Amino acid sequence: QKEVEQDPGPLSVPEGAIVSLNCTYSNSAFQYFMWYRQYSRKGPELLMYTYSSGNKEDGRFTAQVDKSSKYISLFIRDSQPSDSATYLCAMRSRDDKIIFGKGTRLHILP
Amino acid sequence: SAVISQKPSRDICQRGTSLTIQCQVDSQVTMMFWYRQQPGQSLTLIATANQGSEATYESGFVIDKFPISRPNLTFSTLTVSNMSPEDSSIYLCSVPDGLILNEQFFGPGTRLTVL
């Protein structure tokens, strides 16, 4: 079992819909959970990070962590065509190694 | 935030040759990271480059294949040696944000195709 599992998609949703992106992980030592967004031919950029179970909101984006289930989610409300990108989950443990998911390709259809 | 540039942005190379990728940061940083992003695969750390010391390689990556230089606090190079088609990938450098522990800034990447 890989440490971080993420469905690669692609995921296509109509503009304005709520998007749900998810990752599961197996290492209970992970303490920090991050979501990166990567546009085509660009490097990843950090969207959000959190270190506790529960929800963290930033504008249209909500990051959710359930440590008991080893499951994290990113929700995008009122999705826009500009949200079309690859979203990578990432996790960090105490030894500072960051493990990335494979990324989910998201297409928002106008 | 840090601004990172990479050269070349893309290249097509022949099997058995080597390519050196350059990474330039607009500020001085202690650590620089080199990643590989293969199609359909996770972003994978190759090595950490520290100025003034040997690079630290992750499991599965060796210095003979991926030699790294770090001559100063704003610049690093990664060489992909004796290339094979399996080395076709995007190579990215990144630096950590000194204030936000979990943030890394990434360069735009170098898209390498080996024929």
Residues above pLDDT 90, as percent of chain A: 75
Q: pLDDT tens, B39-80?
A: 888 899 999 998 888 899 999 999 999 999 999 999 999 999
Predicted local distance difference test score (pLDDT) of residue B101 = 65
Nearest chain A Cα distance for residue B90, angstroms? 9
CATH number for the domain spanning B11: value is 2.60.40.10
Confirm whether B48 is domain-assigned.
yes
Q: Report yes or no on B34 lying in a domain.
A: yes
DSSP assignment of A80-99 equals: -GGG-EEEEEEEE-TT--EE
How far is Cα B71 from Cα B38, in angstroms, rounded to an integer?
Answer: 27
Summarize the confidence of residues A2-29 as an average pLDDT.
93
Q: Of B4, B40, B108, which is closest to A41 when you measure between CB atoms?
A: B108
Question: In this structure, what token pair is assigned to residue B3?
Answer: 């601004």
Residue B115 in domain: no
Number of domains in chain B: 1
SS3 letters across B55-101: CEECCCCCCCCCCEEEEECCEEEEEECCCCHHHCEEEEEEEECCCCC
Structural domain of B69: 4-102
Over the stretch B7-33, which tens digit does the pLDDT of each residue have?
Answer: 999 999 999 999 999 999 999 998 899
The CA-CA-CA angle for residues B31, B11, B29, to 5°, reads 10
Please say whether the beta carbons of B101 and B44 come within 8 A.
Answer: no
CA–CA distance, A85 with A76 (Å, rounded to integer): 12
β partners of residue A36: A46, A88
d(CA A26, CA A2): 7
Q: Which residues contact A68 (CB under 8 A, 6 or more apart)?
A: A53
For residue B109, tell me if it sits in a domain. no
B77, part of any domain: yes
DSSP string for residues in A59-82: TTEEEEEETTTTEEEEEESS--GG
Chain B residues inside the 8 Å CB shell of A90 = 43
Domain membership of residue B114 (yes or no) is no
CATH class as words, domain A4-109:
mainly beta
For A100, the closest of B40, B43, B102 (CB atoms) is: B43
Nearest to A43 among B40, B42, B107 (CB): B107
Q: Judge: A43–B101 Cβ closer than 8 Å, yes or no.
A: no
Chain B residues inside the 8 Å CB shell of A42: 108-109
Q: Provide the pairing of β-strand A11-14 with A104-109.
A: parallel
Residue A53 has pLDDT above 90, yes or no: no
